[in-house]
Structure 1
Amino acid sequence: MSLQTLHLEHIPQPHAVHIFAFKDVSNASYLREQLLAGNSDFEYAFIDASALVSTAHALAAVHQAVHNLLVKQKLRTRNVHSEIVFCLSPNNNITESFRRFGISETTTSLVCVKVSSRENPISAEETEIRLQQAVKGLPAQFNDEFMAQTTDWAKVAKCYKTRPGSNGVVTEQLELEVLGKMVMRAVG
């Protein structure tokens, strides 16, 4: 099973996070259309993996979005899944965050996130089946090796106004700079 289920610290137990990665995605345009149409069967955070520097980068956005939902009880976007994509952004422009970090018609590497809750329980198995039916691509492990293979360093540098990483290797300094910009926007 390529899907991973995580229980993030300081997040109540019913809020499991199911994460699945895909490479060689060929139907990104269709998936994006379903999201824009508000199709509830496609209520996932579809993140373009080329804009991510590490698993910690993705998980920081997931944690912030669930925190906004449960603690602040205020989302800036339609649901916790779109909030995850928004939380990746270093600024408060929702449209720009979807354009830079969300699925686009040219996305070929994808990280899919589904947050389960008491109100909307979904098992890891059910999530995996639904995603494998919806996404035309090859399942991949959600890990830092996958991130290193898919990251578009020029895109990351442009999004976060940083220096590009070298040779596809995330440096601790670059990762901290990206995470710091996300956090500063969240608290600012």
Structure 2
Amino acid sequence: MAWCLDLDPSTNSKITIWLLKNVNNAEEIQKRLFDGHLKCCIIKASLIIDPFQIAVAANKALVAESLTTKTIFTEILFNLSISKNITSSLQTFGISATDKELLIVSIDNLKETSHSLNFIEGDEVDMKILNQFTDVNMVKKIYKISDVESKTMIC
């Protein structure tokens, strides 16, 4: 049910993304992320139209000469945003205590991410149903997409 993709050949890396719904412990997940105990990136599913968005952000993070943020996982969140404000980017795309649908992102190290997935209380579902959780109006607002431009969005 996970979505996988090889990234830029120069990075020799692969991204794996899982979609979870009915997450019951988002507040605890958020705390563990901030404490550095979870080795993955966790993204609000409501702000993602297609997993390729995440792949592009991850690829950009991996090919960069240096990170703007502290970790590769926060760099992915930062790269999803059109803002250059790190805090705003992390707050917008990162997990909040009330989130019920999440995307878990791993770069290569599936063993560490598998441990993180076991901690999360939720149901893993097929990535094909991601659009059921996407808030198109919020995506349009965050990316400043006009009504005319939105007619070409893939949803």
Q: TM-score, length-normalised on structure 1? A: 0.73
Q: Which amino acid aligns with 2:24?
A: S
Q: Which runs of 4+ in 1 moved over 6 A?
A: none
How is 1:35-114 mapped onto 2 (pairs within 5 angstroms)? 35-39=33-37, 42-68=38-64, 72=65, 74-114=66-106
Match of 1:139 in 2: 124
Question: Alpha-carbon deviations, 1:29-68, whole Å to 9, x = none?
Answer: 11111111222xx021100010111122121111111122
Root mean square deviation of aligned Cα: 2.1
Cα separation, 1, equivalents of 2:57 and 2:143:
14
Kept in 1, the 8 Å contact 2:106–2:113? The answer is no
Cα separation, 2, equivalents of 1:45 and 1:128:
9
State percent identity of aligned pairs. Answer: 26
Cα separation, 2, equivalents of 1:152 and 1:160:
12
Q: Look up the SS of the partner of 2:84 in the other structure.
A: coil
Q: Which amino acid aligns with 2:145?
A: T
Shift of 1:10: 3.1
Equivalent residue pairs, number: 153
Alpha-carbon distance change, 128 to 98 in structure 1, aligned in 2, over 3 angstroms: closer
Q: TM-score, length-normalised on structure 2? A: 0.87
Where does the alignment leave 5 or more consecutive residues of structure 1 unmatched?
117-121, 176-188
Cα separation, 2, equivalents of 1:11 and 1:149:
34
Match of 2:9 in 1: 10
Kept in 1, the 8 Å contact 2:5–2:55? The answer is no
How is 1:116-131 mapped onto 2 (pairs within 5 angstroms)? 116=108, 122=109, 124=110, 126-127=111-112, 129-131=114-116
Kept in 2, the 8 Å contact 1:154–1:164? The answer is no
Q: Which amino acid aligns with 2:144?
A: K
